[in-house]
Amino acid sequence: MESELKINPKLFEEFLQINKNIIDAPNLASALDEINLEMTPYEVVYSEDKVRLLHFTPLVQKTVKTPLVIAYALINRFHILDIHPKKSWVKNLLNQGFDLYLIDWGTPTEIDRHLGFDDYVNGYMDNCIDFAIKESLSDTVSLQGYCTGGTLSTVYTSLHPEKVKNLILTAPVIDGRRDSTVVANMAKHIDVDKLTETVGNMPPEIMYYVFSILKPFEQGFEKYINFFKNIHNKEYVDNFIRVEKWLSDTPPIPGELFRQWIKDVYQENLLINNGMYVGGKQISLKNINMPIFTQVAVGDHLVSPECSMPIHYAVSSTDKTLRVYPTGHVGMIASSFSQQKVLPELGNWLKERSEK
Amino acid sequence: MTVSREVKKSLSEYKHTSLFWTDLLYLMSSKPQSLMSVGPFRKMASNAKKISVQTIEMNEELAEFNSRLSAYYKQLSDTWSQAQEEYNKKVPEIPNDTENIESSKRIWIDIFENYFTRLFDSPEFADNFGKLVTSELELMGHWNNITSILLESANMPTKKEMDEVYKELYSLRKRIAKLEKIANKEGS
């Protein structure tokens, strides 16, 4: 009996091509350690323990006197805001004439396990903002917080409203009860006291696990197939490697800060209910009375829009703007869409409300 | 899924028997041990009992951990089967030609993504995951205790002692920062 094995020639050709691409890959792509994520030049103007305040070198003549201080998230490093020249949040704002500072939280170690919200907000953040005010000869700053940096910025502004002229919150973690993401689901069920008591700081491995269950098939499977398919596209490969390097650099979070964040924001939902205490003071969102701009993304699978949007209604500001963008958590800050839509809107809003 | 009462009972009996013999052997051997081990080695010998207690207690946690881990893998494999079943139902609808390879892959990814996201979003998954991590932390706690006993025997600082140093440094750093702030205010 004769059997005939039928192989689709197109499928076979594709299979051979992807194998060839895998073999060629090391010659066409850099290893993660070989690339440097630092893009736009900056100067470290202030540092305290592991925290650094970066001041970006202006690219054009400054058109806005009020400095803009960005409080980056506690998860991963700030490099995503300057990941690629064509998608750089930082570069875009500099080109719009802003005087730009950024707080880099650094990489905490075991010695930092007792640092909490009070140390971050009333210590590091307050000192960085004081420095920016003094150096720029201004009375106030515009403050932008991204993701968990948005939570810190909200708490900071509630405690020090006199230092913040404008508040910009980009995908902030505010109302944990309404957050419908996988991240929130896990956060609500974790014994955070036992975790911090046993291991000290929040280990990055837990974050890597959480990343792995967000779109596991697209991110864990399809992404890599597409990488090998596009191995000859220099720009695609460069962007892919840079983002992968950024994703794989997750510093630990100081134990006490993580404990308070999970308990007060996700498990007991104290922040939105004005029941959170930092440094012995109650965090009342009604203290936030300056212009506020809230940016959320419909496709955000790390911080759902329902978690961020309540801040818009909870503050006492009369000048407030809420924008909902058709993109994702990272897409809102590092994509062509953010360059074309999110950043110009933010720039215009901020220029109208800043000291010239 | 949790450890059954029978398993808990037999573990508790095992713990009792192990501790009984550990204690008795320790008592029986302590006199000759005292004679034979002098100086710092005496400390190591007396700490041996503490290590066996930790090891016995770890077995209890291990049962809970295994049960949570089995439940975790069961959730994953059940979800995989359900997703695969749905994909199998869809396959006859997709034209069997080369142009549709890409769409077939897309459908597979979408179905699996939906099923698994639903699983990861569910309170049942998060509840078991939380308990799995807790039981892992319990095991880690015992391992930390064993390491501390060994470090103590070798006259080295334990994790607890190091944490006291960290706490002290933390409060010193905080006091210095406060003083610096006052000094800066008075200076300006």
The pLDDT assigned to A344 comes to 97
Average pLDDT score over residue span A200-216: 89
- The residue ranges of every structural domain in chain B are 5-156, 157-188
B25 interface with A at CB cutoff 8 Å: no
Query: Which runs of E-coded beta strand occur in chain A?
Result: 42-48, 51-56, 68-71, 100-104, 141-146, 164-170, 277-278, 281-282, 292-297, 320-325
Confidence of residue B41 (pLDDT cuts 50, 70, 90): low
**Closest to A141 measured CA to CA, from A149, A150, A132:** A132
Question: In this structure, what are the phi and psi dihedrals at residue A141, rounded to the nearest 5 degrees?
Answer: -125, 160
Residue of B nearest to A123 (CA): B177
Judged against a pLDDT cut of 60, whether residue A337 lies above it is answered with yes
Lowest mean pLDDT among A114-128, A285-299, B90-104: B90-104
User: Is residue A246 assigned to a domain?
Assistant: no
The pLDDT assigned to A195 comes to 95
Cβ within 8 Å, pair A199-B137: yes
**Cβ pair A108, A115 in contact under 8 A:** yes
Interface confidence: ipTM more than 0.85: no
Q: Domain of A91?
A: 36-203+252-353
A187 CB contacts (<8 Å, ≥6 apart)? A176, A262, A266, A267
Using the CB atoms, write b or e for A121-144: b if 16+ within 10 Å: bbbbbbbbbbbbbeebebebbbbb
Cβ within 8 Å, pair B126-A188: yes
Confidence of residue B128 (pLDDT cuts 50, 70, 90): very high
DSSP A111: G
User: Is residue A5 assigned to a domain?
Assistant: no
- Using the Cα atoms of residue B88, residue B89, residue B92 and residue B95 in order, give the sign of their dihedral: negative
Confidence of residue A4 (pLDDT cuts 50, 70, 90): low
Q: How many domains would you assign to chain A?
A: 1
Q: What is the mean pLDDT of chain B?
A: 86
The answer to whether residue A147 is catalytic is yes
Lowest mean pLDDT among A55-59, A217-221, A326-330, B145-149: A217-221
Which chain B residues are within 8 Å of A124, Cβ to Cβ?
A: none
Confidence of residue B185 (pLDDT cuts 50, 70, 90): confident
Lowest mean pLDDT among A136-140, A301-305, B41-45: B41-45
Confidence of residue A7 (pLDDT cuts 50, 70, 90): low
Confidence of residue A9 (pLDDT cuts 50, 70, 90): confident
- At A253-298, the pLDDT tens digits run 999 999 999 999 999 999 999 999 999 999 999 999 999 999 999 9
When comparing pLDDT for A173 and B177, which is higher?
A173
**What percentage of chain A has pLDDT greater than the value 90?**
76
B107 CB contacts (<8 Å, ≥6 apart)? B87, B90, B94
Q: How far apart, in whole angstroms, are the C-alpha atoms of residue A268 and residue B127?
A: 17
Task: Indicate the burial class of A246 (C-beta count within 10 angstroms; 0-12, 13-18, 19 or more).
Answer: buried
- At B60-71, the pLDDT tens digits run 889 889 999 999
Judged against a pLDDT cut of 70, whether residue A221 lies above it is answered with yes
Which chain B residues are within 8 Å of A200, Cβ to Cβ?
A: 163
The pLDDT assigned to B53 comes to 84
Query: Which listed residue (A69, A147, A152, A302) is catalytic?
Result: A147
- Segment 35-94 of chain B within 8 Å of chain A by CB: none
- Write down the residue that tokens 């800043």 correspond to: A354
Q: What is the CA radius of gyration of chain A?
A: 22
CATH number at residue A297: 3.40.50.1820
User: Is residue A154 assigned to a domain?
Assistant: yes
What global pTM score does this model have?
0.88
User: Is residue A18 assigned to a domain?
Assistant: no
Which chain B residues are within 8 Å of A123, Cβ to Cβ?
A: 174, 177
A149 CB contacts (<8 Å, ≥6 apart)? A70, A71, A72, A73, A74, A103, A172
A152 CB contacts (<8 Å, ≥6 apart)? A71, A74, A117, A120, A121, A125, A145
**Closest to A67 measured CA to CA, from A98, A92, A38:** A98
Question: In this structure, what are the phi and psi dihedrals at residue B129, rounded to the nearest 5 degrees?
Answer: -60, -45
Which chain A residues are within 8 Å of B126, Cβ to Cβ?
A: 185-186, 188-189
User: Is residue A239 assigned to a domain?
Assistant: no
Judged against a pLDDT cut of 80, whether residue B39 lies above it is answered with no
A292 CB contacts (<8 Å, ≥6 apart)? A166, A167, A168, A169, A311, A312, A315, A317, A319, A320, A321
